[in-house]
C-alpha cells in the first residue's frame, strides 16, 4: 500500500535559523497536503500542492512538490518560537490521504 | 463557524470494557473521517464516510470496532471490547466537497483514550 515517509523525525533549530523537512511517497500522488500540530493540539491544514513542480509560499514557509509528484519539502526561514510543533505531510492517492509520521520541531531561543 | 466537535475529550477505561466516541462535523461537510493517532505518529485512517455511507472502512478492525453516521451528520465510533493497545488519540475530521477548501480536512480536538 501507499507509504509516506518524512525526514527528519526531529528537528532542533536555533531561533532565526532555516531548516527543511522532507516527505517521500512510495507511489505517485495526485496531491499532497501539509498540516501542523502544536503540542497537545490537533492537526491544522497549512497548504495543498497539486501540480508537478509546484512551489507555494506562506510568509516564511515555502512548500515544494516534486516533478515526479512523489516527494515534497517544507522550508522554514528565520525560525521563530511560534514554529514549534509537528509538521505532517499527507499524500493523496485516489480518495485516500496517507499521513507521514511527522517532523517534530523544537526551537531554542 | 464552529469547528469539529468531539466528546469526550478524555476517557479512561479498563480493558475489555466498551467505549464510544462522538463527533459532530462542521455544518455542511459531507465527508467525515475517523483517525487513530499514536504518540509520535501521524493520523491513521480508520473509516471515511460520504454522507451516511461508509466508503472506506478497510483499515477498521471490524472484530472490535464499529462506526455509524446516522442521517449523515453526527458520527459515533465504538470499541468493544477495548484492549490495552487501543490507547491512543481518536481524531474526527470533516471536509467539504468543493470550493476553495476542497480536500482540506478540519480536525476536531480528539479523544484521548487510555485503556488500563
Enumerate the residues of chain A whose CB falls inside 8 A of the CB of residue B107: 42-44
Q: What is the pLDDT along chain A (109 residues), one digit of tens a residue?
A: 668 999 999 999 999 999 999 999 999 999 999 999 999 999 999 999 999 999 999 999 999 999 999 999 999 999 999 999 999 999 998 778 899 999 999 999 8
- Which residues of B lie inside 8 Å of A (Cβ-Cβ)? 40-45, 48, 55-56, 91, 101, 103-110
Distances (CA, A) of A68 to A28, A81, A99, B6, B61: 7, 33, 19, 38, 34
Residue in A39, A37, A25 with CA at minimum distance from that of residue A97:
A25
Closest-CA residue of B relative to A97 is: B45
pLDDT value of residue A96: 83
Enumerate the residues of chain A whose CB falls inside 8 A of the CB of residue B54: none
Residue in B35, B64, B29 with CA at minimum distance from that of residue B50:
B29
> Which residue's C-alpha cell is 490495552?
B84
Residue A80 is given by DSSP the state -
Distances (CA, A) of B37 to A37, A92, B89: 12, 18, 5
Residue-wise pLDDT tens digits, B13-42:
999 999 999 999 999 999 999 999 999 999
Of the CA atoms within 13 Å of residue B7, those in its CB half-sphere come to: 3
Top residue of B9, B23, B42 to mutate, by most chain A CBs within 10 Å, is B42
CB contact under 8 A, B103 and A43: no
Q: Looking at the partner chain, which of B103, B107, B109 has a beta carbon nearest the beta carbon of A31? A: B103
Residue in A25, A91, A2, A105 with CA at minimum distance from that of residue A61:
A105
CB contact under 8 A, A95 and B106: no
Q: Are B20 and B26 in contact, with CB atoms under 8 Å apart?
A: no
Enumerate the residues of chain A whose CB falls inside 8 A of the CB of residue B56: 95-96
Q: Are A1 and A18 in contact, with CB atoms under 8 Å apart?
A: no
Amino acid at each position: 500500500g501507499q507509504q509516506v515517509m518524512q525526514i527528519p523525525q526531529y528537528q532542533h533549530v536555533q531561533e532565526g535559523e532555516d531548516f527543511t523537512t522532507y516527505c517521500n511517497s512510495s507511489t505517485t500522488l495526485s496531491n499532497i497536503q501539509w498540516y501542523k500540530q502544536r503540542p497537545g493540539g490537533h492537526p491544522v491544514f497549512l497548504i495543498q500542492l497539486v501540480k508537478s513542480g509546484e512551489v507555494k509560499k506562506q510568509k516564511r514557509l515555502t512548500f515544494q512538490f516534486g516533478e515526479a509528484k512523489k516527494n515534497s519539502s517544507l522550508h522554514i526561514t528565520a525560525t521563530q518560537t511560534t514554529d514549534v510543533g509537528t509538521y505532517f505531510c499527507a499524500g493523496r492517492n485516489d480518495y485516500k490521504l496517507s499521513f507521514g509520521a511527522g517532523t517534530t520541531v523544537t526551537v531554542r531561543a | 463557524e464552529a469547528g469539529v466537535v468531539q466528546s469526550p475529550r478524555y476517557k479512561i477505561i479498563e480493558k475489555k470494557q466498551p467505549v464510544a466516541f462522538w463527533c459532530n462535523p462542521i455544518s455542511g461537510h459531507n465527508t467525515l473521517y475517523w483517525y487513530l493517532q499514536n504518540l509520535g505518529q501521524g493520523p491513521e485512517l480508520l473509516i471515511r464516510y460520504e454522507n451516511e455511507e461508509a466508503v472506506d472502512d478497510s483499515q477498521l478492525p471490524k472484530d472490535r470496532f464499529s462506526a455509524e453516521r446516522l442521517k449523515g451528520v453526527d458520527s459515533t465510533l465504538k470499541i468493544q471490547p477495548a484492549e490495552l493497545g487501543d490507547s491512543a488519540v481518536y481524531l474526527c475530521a470533516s471536509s467539504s466537497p468543493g470550493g476553495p477548501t476542497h480536500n482540506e480536512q478540519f480536525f476536531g480536538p480528539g479523544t484521548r483514550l487510555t485503556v488500563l
